[in-house]
């Protein structure tokens, strides 16, 4: 098992290298660079050239990428040209904001999603199933930004129960913080929750028709015991797979939601930095998101083994 | 025997689907006494399983609607108001064992836990006591190292062992009644014999009633005291086992007995299939459900509306109103004219080996071992003969078939077809050769493209090999093929799913015949079919062989089928041929201990013979081909094994003209056995 994990981590690092390289390349290919933004109208060719030289921007792209990479190994993520501060400092502040929100959305979508999925499957074809499936289908197809705007209009502008946007640190005003976070968290969670409902429902339905569930019923177990001991654990594998993917999806959602609700998190930082051509910050964001996704997937991978002994065995051999 | 364990009365189950209703069970009554073994037989879809599951309300409801009653200890289990009581009976006093042992156990739960779960529930024992009892039960069903194996998961067991675990689970709360629904059908014959012998011993010892549901007449002949024959959702005849076999009193029972090939047929008997197919039960059968297929119909059969159970003997009842049924047909031998096989080699296999690497891992596949699927196989097939190849699952039969067809290339060895080595042909030549060598598949469902009409399926090879010129000739040839295999040409526009299993297999045969091949490889061609339909297909294959001068390699796991159709038989075990010879010698005078075990494991549908037969049960499971035992691969299971056997691979040697055996002590064993036999 440890050998398997080591191998997985190694693969993940490789992927990370490729992803950061590609994002560097993309930033390079977008016209304009940080200097154009910093100097704005004052730009003269001489000034620009001098600044570029001082920021190493005159070096070839590939050299700069490896300089950045070399910095990473020394624990240095580089300096933001725009904020004139170390990227590590900038990210740490934003990270906490984003994580708090993403984590809340993840917990809600998973717990509520699995519960509704099970309810739906158990009452297959019944009233609750139809109702839940109906909303799950809407939830999957609705774009986050549209839902966000809808929420703002409804709850903030019309009903005035929640603040329109903004962010307050929980240590400053916890109640306000909570109220401000309600809409963003829900909007982030809706898509993930809906796919979780659908995945759980189909996994449970699939499992219910298996022979061993018939055996369990034949043993005289109560339906609830069958559901918990025999059905859910077997249905967990496809659910876990989805969970691994959800993390990525949630990050995508966070970027949009932070921008709609003006939340100073990593998503907002990423978008602003792309506009500012602040390449080190962009790379930093991508790196952190990549690492989180990798860790999440590793956790999912390891937990497969706990759920299914057959997978455990295969991994021991590999 | 006055106390009944379960009394089922006028049970009816129908599945009310959205667009139609399936009348699966139509008034089934039976009762079963302590210590009694009852057999329920009938063809697929006749309602055997549904009637058993209905008594325990295990059918999904809705769509199922159940009527009638099933009385256990004075309470009706079918009555929904007794649901709570039923749950306490299920798995406790009445337990069921199902067909697919591998999928019937929860893959993510320790097997010991799964057994003790039922014990804790029904016997109200604590965790430790339940564990102790579980281990005791696992020992009883002969699971080696029961203590350690308690912690194992189902995938760590073979099919036979899973089934033994299921039996342990079913026996765990001292049931009064055990229902075994096709519980050995998916297993190899030697394992099937082991399990059934064990099951019988266990129920005899504990006075448990056992209900065996099966389509295998041999099994009920060997084990059952009483037999119920089902057709189209009704019990059409029942009585003591001996009476059912010696004096069958329903035309369907007689038909069934006539259509099975038997190991003890003394001649090349032509099977007597029941023509037509069982009804689909989408309307409630009126009058005699069998009348559409019955060859002994009376004029009254059509007009009569009431078919009451009528007593035909002591405890022997039948629904058939014909009092003068012709039973003589059973043994009538519509002999084919004896085949004359010239001594001319059509196909010769020399020293064929095939190894498969065993790969494990998810992303980086790593070779962790190899499977020796074919190990020095030598065979000769003469023009016009049928070579039967038997062996248990995983012994390499299909690998051999696929090698001959050029679908996989052997690791080493030669396959000479009329002198040309097929393994050395290039792609184009192989394709050309495929015109001459065709395959008939096991599963007629999976092998036909569901989007094509059966006319174009059959005609496809004509187009591929450009065998006809012009539309008219094509259509004529397709029609010819339809008629050749006994299919109505008007079915040509149907798609495969609109046909029955037997019809589909005919389509498969017609397609194989389209390119006028000389050699047909039949890989388990009848194992997915019901006995009455199986007989139709076997007869068809025999007829076609005579008419078209075909040569067959006939692969099957069912020795009685192979024996029926083959001129020469080769027995395979773990990739090696262990014995071969002409069918008569091999079946009358089996030499290799494995062949002997195989033959004795196959039950014969005749209680008289079964009672006097002595079963050479062999122990243990078929080992995995990836961990072949050294020396004679059979030695871990062989009752005659000595130290030498593990040391060297025995050579295939000729013990009498044309009879080859791969066991050095075979003659001695046989000698000792027949002496013991004559001394008795
Ligand atoms: N859940 C279900 N819904 C609808 N029809 C069903 C269902 N289960 C069984 N049937 C139908 O009931 C009939 C009897 O089925 P059953 O399984 O009892 O046959 P069987 O005699 O056990 O056959 P086999 O030998 O193949 O096991 C069949 O026509 C089948 O299609
Ligand atoms: S009742 Fe008539 S139709 Fe039915 S099986 Fe008997 S003879 Fe045949
Ligand atoms: S060689 Fe030995 S182990 Fe093999 S079949 Fe003969 S007696 Fe049995
Ligand atoms: Mg069945």
Residue A79 DSSP one-character state: B
| Residue nearest ligand 3's atom 3 by CA | B635
CA of A223 to the centre of ligand 1 (A): 24
Amino acid B569: pLDDT = 93
- Please check whether residues B628 and B539 belong to one and the same domain: no
User: Is pLDDT at B329 greater than 80 in this prediction?
Assistant: no
- Please check whether residues B592 and B547 belong to one and the same domain: no
CB of B45 closer than 6 angstroms to any ligand 1 atom? yes
Do the chains contact at B107 and A313, CB–CB below 8 Å? no
- Testing ligand 1's pocket by substitution, the residue of B20, B22, B62, B279 carrying the most ligand atoms inside 8 A of its CB is B22
* CATH fold group of domain A87-317: MetI-like fold (1.10.3720)
- Ranges B303-312, B378-387, B477-486: which has the least confidence: B303-312
Taking the CA atoms of B245, B251, B253 and B255 in sequence, report the sign of the dihedral they define.
Answer: positive
Is B43 part of any domain?
Answer: no
B615 alpha-carbon distance from chain centroid: 19
Q: Which residues surround ligand 4, an ion (CB under 5 A)?
A: B 49
- Please check whether residues B478 and B559 belong to one and the same domain: yes
- Please check whether residues B546 and B591 belong to one and the same domain: no
- Ranges A126-135, A290-299, B244-253: which has the least confidence: A290-299
CB of B15 closer than 6 angstroms to any ligand 1 atom? yes
- Please check whether residues B404 and B537 belong to one and the same domain: yes
Amino acid B75: pLDDT = 87
Q: What is the pLDDT of residues B425-462, one digit of tens each?
A: 888 888 888 888 988 887 666 777 878 888 888 988 88
Q: What percent of chain B has pLDDT over 70?
A: 92
**How far is CA A102 from each of CA A171, A200, A258, rounded to the nearest angstrom?**
19, 21, 11
Amino acid B332: pLDDT = 44
- Ranges B168-177, B377-386, B499-508, B571-580: which has the least confidence: B499-508
Is B188 part of any domain?
Answer: no
- Please check whether residues B606 and B643 belong to one and the same domain: yes
Residues of B in contact with A229 (CB under 8 A): 109, 117
Cα gap A25→B628, rounded to integer Å: 55
Q: What is the dihedral of CA B531, B533, B539, B544, to 10 degrees?
A: -140
**Can you tell me the mean pLDDT for B595-601?**
87
Do the chains contact at B90 and A217, CB–CB below 8 Å? yes
Do the chains contact at B58 and A218, CB–CB below 8 Å? yes
Is B450 part of any domain?
Answer: yes
Residues of A in contact with B92 (CB under 8 A): 220
A–B CB contacts, 8 A cutoff, strictly below: 85
Amino acid B266: pLDDT = 62
B210 alpha-carbon distance from chain centroid: 21
Q: What is the pLDDT of residues A75-129, one digit of tens each?
A: 788 888 788 888 888 888 888 888 888 889 999 999 999 999 999 998 888 899 9
CB of B593 closer than 6 angstroms to any ligand 3 atom? yes
Between residues B29 and B329, the one the model is more confident about: B29
Place of tokens 């690497």: B357
Stated as kind and residue range, the H or E segment containing A188 is: helix A174-208
**Can you tell me the mean pLDDT for B374-380?**
90
Residues of A in contact with B368 (CB under 8 A): 317
Cα gap B447→B450, rounded to integer Å: 9
Q: What is the pLDDT of residues B283-298, one digit of tens each?
A: 877 778 888 888 888 8
Phi, psi of B249 (to 5 degrees): -120, 15
User: Is pLDDT at B259 greater than 90 in this prediction?
Assistant: no
Q: Are B257 and B326 in contact (CB under 8 A)?
A: no
User: Is pLDDT at B680 greater than 50 in this prediction?
Assistant: no
**Can you tell me the mean pLDDT for B521-530?**
83
Q: What is the pLDDT of residues B65-124, one digit of tens each?
A: 898 988 988 888 888 888 888 888 888 889 988 877 888 899 889 999 999 998 998 888
What distance in Å separates residue B87's CA from the closest CA in chain A?
5
- Please check whether residues B556 and B618 belong to one and the same domain: no
- Please check whether residues B494 and B361 belong to one and the same domain: yes
Q: What is the pLDDT of residues A124-161, one digit of tens each?
A: 888 999 999 999 999 988 888 899 889 989 988 888 88
- Please check whether residues B548 and B633 belong to one and the same domain: no
User: Is pLDDT at A57 greater than 80 in this prediction?
Assistant: no
- Please check whether residues B360 and B502 belong to one and the same domain: yes
- For chain B, the domain total comes to 2
Pairing between β-strand B6-16 and β-strand B64-72 as defined by DSSP bridges: antiparallel
What distance in Å separates residue A291's CA from the closest CA in chain B?
21
CB of B650 closer than 6 angstroms to any ligand 3 atom? yes
**Where residue B489 sits, what CATH number does that domain have?**
3.40.50.300
Amino acid A120: pLDDT = 93
Q: Is B388 left (phi over 0), alpha (psi -120 to 50) or beta?
A: beta
- Ranges A12-16, B136-140, B275-279, B402-406: which has the least confidence: B275-279
Continuous H helices in B96-188: 111-123, 127-140, 146-149, 159-171
Residue spans of the domains in chain A: they are 87-317
Amino acid B676: pLDDT = 45
Q: What percent of chain B has pLDDT over 90?
A: 15
Q: Are B28 and B8 in contact (CB under 8 A)?
A: yes
- Please check whether residues B500 and B562 belong to one and the same domain: yes
**Can you tell me the mean pLDDT for B351-377?**
72
Amino acid B81: pLDDT = 87
Amino acid B677: pLDDT = 41
Q: Are B105 and A306 in contact (CB under 8 A)?
A: no
What is the domain range of residue B615? 584-679
Band (pLDDT 50/70/90 cuts) for residue B570 is very high
Q: What is the pLDDT of residues B648-664, one digit of tens each?
A: 888 888 888 889 999 88
Do the chains contact at A234 and B106, CB–CB below 8 Å? yes
Phi, psi of A189 (to 5 degrees): -75, -25
- For residue B17, which ligand has an atom nearest its CA? 1
Q: What is the pLDDT of residues B191-212, one digit of tens each?
A: 888 888 888 888 888 889 999 9
Q: What is the dihedral of CA A239, A244, A246, A247, to 10 degrees?
A: 150
* B362 near A CB under 8 A: yes
Is B521 part of any domain?
Answer: yes
- Please check whether residues B610 and B489 belong to one and the same domain: no
User: Is pLDDT at B492 greater than 80 in this prediction?
Assistant: yes
- For residue B302, which ligand has an atom nearest its CA? 2
CB of B630 closer than 6 angstroms to any ligand 1 atom? no
Pairing between β-strand B94-97 and β-strand B653-656 as defined by DSSP bridges: unpaired
Amino acid B268: pLDDT = 62
Residue B18, helix vs strand vs coil:
coil
Is B330 part of any domain?
Answer: no
Q: Are B7 and B73 in contact (CB under 8 A)?
A: no
User: Is pLDDT at B1 greater than 50 in this prediction?
Assistant: no
Task: Choose the final residue of a domain: B541, B572, B603.
Answer: B572
- Testing ligand 3's pocket by substitution, the residue of B594, B637, B665 carrying the most ligand atoms inside 8 A of its CB is B665
CA of A265 to the centre of ligand 1 (A): 60
CA of B290 to the centre of ligand 4 (A): 20
CB of B370 closer than 6 angstroms to any ligand 2 atom? no
């Amino acid at each position: 098992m440890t050998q398997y994990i080591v191998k997985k981590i190694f693969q993940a690092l490789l992927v990370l290298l490729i992803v950061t390289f590609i994002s560097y390349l993309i930033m390079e290919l977008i016209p304009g660079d940080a200097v154009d933004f910093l100097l704005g109208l004052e730009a003269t060719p001489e000034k620009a050239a001098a600044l570029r030289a001082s920021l190493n921007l005159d070096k070839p792209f590939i050299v700069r990428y490896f300089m950045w990479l070399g910095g990473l190994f020394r624990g240095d993520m580089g300096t933001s040209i725009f904020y004139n501060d170390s990227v590590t400092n900038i990210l740490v502040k934003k990270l906490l904001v984003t994580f708090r929100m993403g984590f809340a959305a993840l917990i809600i979508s998973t717990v509520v999603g699995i519960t509704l999925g099970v309810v739906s499957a158990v009452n297959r074809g019944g009233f609750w199933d139809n109702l839940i499936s109906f909303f799950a289908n809407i939830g999957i197809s609705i774009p986050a930004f549209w839902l966000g705007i809808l929420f703002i209009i409804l709850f903030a502008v019309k009903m005035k129960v929640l603040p329109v946007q903004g962010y307050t640190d929980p240590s400053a005003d916890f109640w306000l913080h909570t109220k401000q976070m309600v809409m963003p968290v829900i909007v982030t969670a809706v898509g993930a929750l809906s796919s979780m409902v659908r995945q759980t429902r189909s996994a449970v339905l699939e499992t219910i028709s298996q022979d061993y569930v018939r055996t369990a019923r034949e043993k005289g177990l109560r339906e609830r015991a069958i559901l918990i001991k025999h059905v859910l654990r077997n249905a967990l594998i496809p659910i876990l797979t989805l969970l691994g993917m959800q993390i990525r999806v949630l990050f995508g959602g966070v970027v949009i939601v932070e921008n709609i609700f003006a939340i100073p998190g990593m998503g907002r930082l990423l978008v602003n930095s792309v506009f500012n051509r602040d390449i080190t910050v962009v790379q930093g964001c991508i790196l952190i998101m990549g690492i989180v996704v990798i860790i999440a997937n590793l956790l999912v991978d390891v937990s497969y083994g706990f759920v299914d002994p057959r997978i455990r065995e295969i991994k021991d051999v590999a | 025997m006055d106390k009944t364990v379960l009394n089922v009365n006028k049970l009816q189950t129908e599945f009310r689907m959205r667009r139609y209703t399936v009348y699966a069970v139509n008034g089934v009554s039976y009762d079963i006494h302590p210590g009694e073994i009852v057999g329920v037989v009938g063809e697929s879809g006749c309602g055997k399983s549904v009637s058993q599951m209905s008594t325990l309300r295990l059918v999904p409801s809705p769509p199922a609607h159940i009527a009638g009653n099933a009385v256990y200890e004075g309470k009706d289990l079918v009555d929904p108001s007794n649901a709570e009581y039923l749950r306490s009976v299920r798995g406790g006093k009445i337990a069921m064992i199902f067909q697919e042992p591998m999928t019937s156990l929860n893959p993510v739960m320790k097997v010991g836990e799964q057994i003790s779960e039922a014990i804790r529930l029904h016997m109200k024992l604590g965790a430790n006591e339940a564990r102790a009892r579980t281990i005791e039960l696992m020992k009883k069903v002969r699971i080696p190292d029961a203590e350690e194996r308690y912690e194992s998961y189902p995938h760590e067991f073979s099919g036979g062992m899973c089934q033994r675990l299921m039996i342990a689970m079913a026996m765990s709360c001292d049931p009064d009644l055990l229902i075994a629904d096709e519980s050995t059908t998916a297993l190899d014959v030697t394992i099937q014999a082991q399990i059934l012998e064990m099951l019988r011993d266990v129920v005899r010892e504990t006075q448990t009633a056992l209900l065996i549901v099966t389509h295998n007449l041999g099994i009920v002949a060997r084990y059952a005291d009483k037999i119920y024959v089902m057709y189209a959702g009704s019990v059409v005849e029942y009585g003591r086992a001996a009476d059912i076999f010696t004096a069958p009193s329903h035309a369907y029972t007689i038909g069934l007995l006539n259509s099975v090939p038997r190991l003890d047929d003394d001649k090349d008997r032509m099977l007597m299939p029941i023509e037509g197919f069982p009804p689909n039960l989408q309307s409630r059968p009126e009058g005699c459900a069998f009348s559409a297929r019955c060859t002994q119909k009376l004029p009254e059969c059509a007009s009569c509306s009431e078919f009451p159970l009528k007593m035909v003997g002591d405890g022997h009842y039948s629904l058939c109103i014909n009092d003068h049924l012709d039973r003589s047909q059973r043994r009538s031998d519509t002999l084919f004219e004896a085949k004359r096989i010239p001594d001319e080699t059509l196909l010769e296999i020399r020293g064929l080996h095939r190894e498969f690497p065993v790969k494990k891992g998810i992303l980086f596949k790593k070779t962790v071992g190899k499977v020796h699927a074919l190990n020095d196989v030598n065979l000769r097939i003469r023009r016009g003969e049928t070579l039967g190849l038997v062996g248990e699952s995983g012994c390499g039969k299909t690998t051999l078939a696929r090698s001959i067809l050029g679908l996989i290339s052997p690791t080493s060895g030669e396959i000479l077809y009329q002198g040309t080595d097929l393994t050395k042909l290039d792609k184009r030549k192989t394709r050309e050769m495929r015109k001459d060598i065709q395959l008939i598949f096991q599963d007629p469902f999976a092998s036909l493209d569901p989007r094509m009409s059966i006319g174009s399926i059959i005609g496809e090879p004509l187009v591929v090999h450009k065998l006809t010129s012009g539309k008219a000739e094509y259509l004529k040839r397709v029609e010819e093929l339809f008629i050749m295999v006994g299919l109505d040409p008007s079915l040509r526009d149907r798609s495969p799913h609109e046909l029955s299993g037997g019809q589909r297999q005919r389509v498969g045969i017609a397609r194989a015949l389209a390119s006028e091949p000389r050699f047909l490889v039949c890989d388990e061609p009848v194992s997915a079919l019901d006995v009455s339909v199986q007989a139709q297909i076997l007869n068809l294959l025999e007829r076609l062989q005579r008419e078209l001068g075909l040569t067959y390699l006939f692969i099957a796991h069912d020795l009685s089928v192979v024996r029926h159709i083959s001129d020469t038989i080769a027995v395979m075990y773990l990739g090696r041929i262990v014995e071969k010879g002409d069918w008569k010698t091999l079946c009358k005078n089996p030499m290799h201990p494995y062949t002997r075990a195989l033959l004795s494991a196959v039950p014969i549908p005749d209680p008289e013979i079964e009672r006097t037969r002595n079963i050479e049960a062999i122990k243990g499971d078929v080992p995995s081909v990836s961990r072949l035992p050294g020396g004679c691969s059979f030695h871990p299971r062989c009752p005659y094994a000595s130290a030498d056997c593990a040391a060297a691979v025995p050579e295939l040697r000729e013990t009498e003209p044309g009879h080859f055996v791969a066991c050095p002590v075979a003659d001695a064993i046989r000698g000792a056995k027949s002496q013991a036999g004559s001394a008795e």
